[in-house]
Amino acid sequence: MRTREGGRIVDEAAVIARVRAGEPEAYAELVRAHTGLALRAAAALGAGADAEDVVQQAFFKAYCSLGRFRDGAAFKPWLLSIVANETRNTVRTAVRQRTLAGREAALVEAEPLIPESADPAAAALEGERRTALLTALEGLGEDHRLVVTYRYLLEMDESETAQALGWPRGTVKSRLNRALRKLGRLLPDFEPREGSGDSEDAADGTDAAGLDGLRGQRTRGGGDEHG
């Protein structure tokens, strides 16, 4: 699996092989490539001000577990499954739930979703849409909130989402369908259209069009691209 770090492509399998062969400093390449996304995941899942600590701990646990990492598997969803577990543990230990305002502020601080060069009016509209989505997400159950967060806020495909959450792909698909139907009732501007959205969504009839203006836009290095 290859991931873009800044302006170059990182061969994850090669980096992991180097770490296993006794070159621990090579792990820094994976950290640089995935830190932005990991911070967004932790913030979106409710880590708030603890997002950086959560991500640091997740990278440490991933490093310690590289010996058990399956050859040929994708690193990103595996890492994000660790981030999700660390976030849940952090929130549970603190015995608190993040407010909508705190979660949104942390998500924006972790990695801005609106390009700095965006038209002010467009940026304001994007901000309103993001707030509407986060408000609606608070009205979903945990499983539905997780699947929407991974598929749309973090822009992971169905197989990556399944690996990150530890669910069968069929479960991801069915829970996403139910979550989108609930969002359709919670978001006034959400209008499901059969067969719209990305290729996977179109294949199973799941709608993504209503979320087009709500999903995050990658604007910095650290976003993932596969070749």
Tens of pLDDT, residues 109-157:
655 544 455 566 666 666 777 777 778 888 888 899 899 989 988 889 9
Residue given tokens 């009839």 in the structure block: 205
Query: What are the tens digits of pLDDT across the range 157-191?
Result: 999 999 999 999 999 999 999 999 998 888 866 65
- Run of H or E including 57: helix 51-64
pLDDT at 131 (0 to 100): 77
CA distance 37 to 28: 15
Q: Is 59 exposed, middle or buried (0-12, 13-18, 19+ CB in 10 A)?
A: buried
Other Cβ atoms closer than 10 A to 177: 17
CA distance 140 to 135: 10
CATH code reported for the domain at 2-211: 1.10.10.10
Residue given tokens 């959560």 in the structure block: 54
Q: Is the pLDDT of residue 197 over 50?
A: no
pLDDT at 8 (0 to 100): 54
Contact partners, residue 84, CB within 8 Å, separation at least 6 = 41, 45, 146, 164, 165
Strand-strand pairing, 8-11 and 2-5: antiparallel
Contact partners, residue 59, CB within 8 Å, separation at least 6 = 31, 35, 38, 79
Q: What is the largest distance, in Å, between two alpha-carbon atoms of the chain?
A: 55
Q: Is the pTM of this model over 0.75?
A: no
Average pLDDT over the chain, rounded to an integer: 76
Query: How does DSSP classify residue 124?
Result: H
Query: How does DSSP classify residue 2?
Result: E
CA distance 82 to 62: 7
Three-class secondary structure assignment of 140-193:
CCHHHHHHHHHHHHCCCCHHHHHHHHCCCHHHHHHHHHHHHHHHHHHCCCCCCC
